[in-house]
Amino acid sequence: MDNEQAMKAMNNASGVAFFQAGFMAIVITVLLWLDKDLLGLSAYSYIDAAIFGCLAVGVKMRSRVAGVMLVIYFIIAQIVTISMAGAAGIFVAILFGYIYIKGMRASFSYHKNPETTKEKEYSVIGMISFAIAMIQLFLAIIFVMLIGDYTVATDIAFVVLLLSLLGFGLGIGGIFQKRMYKKFTIWGLAINGVFFILPNIAFVVM
């Protein structure tokens, strides 16, 4: 597999993962808005969507670790889903799984290829930190929409707190990486720092 083929496979995998993360976030938001239950989805399910989104960023950035983790997390998620809802949607799951596995293999092939350059690039963990920050901006909007529901709003605030801690930690790690562009890392670090404070204020106010 040459670099062009590898990059195409990784872009396909990251694109599907972005779609899955976005679809999950939309479904969760609608269920919370309508106060409906489906497969036990709750505000904490945003964490699942965030994980898929962050791994999508990692695969987009040619990370082998993200490629492996995406496949593993997808398999675990499918096992849980099948145990709760049966084999509905199994064909879509097989298709997604195939794309993720191909993307994972491509990430290893890409880094083994001698034509891969070693130029200065953006930090993977810094980009993931920035992605988490963007996810929290989305959750902040949902928080405002559902602030009248104390339980759901509190759960969302707690999810934001957990994500901000993760994003802040990744941002710190990205700052100390050498030979990396750090623009997105710094933004991620700053925004996650702010969102670490906001949930604490929300808990006090509520």
SS3 per-residue string spanning the chain: CCHHHHHHHHHHHHHHHHHHHHHHHHHHHHHHHHCCCCCCCCHHHHHHHHHHHHHHHHHHCCCHHHHHHHHHHHHHHHHHHHHHHCCCCHHHHHHHHHHHHHHHHHHHHHHHCCCCCCCCEECHHHHHHHHHHHHHHHHHHHHHHCCCCHHHHHHHHHHHHHHHHHHHHHHHHHHCCCCEECHHHHHHHHHHHHHHHHHHHHHHHC
26 vs 38: which has the higher pLDDT: 26
Q: Name the pLDDT band for 35 (thresholds 50, 70, 90).
A: confident
pLDDT tens digits, 137-146: 888 888 777 7
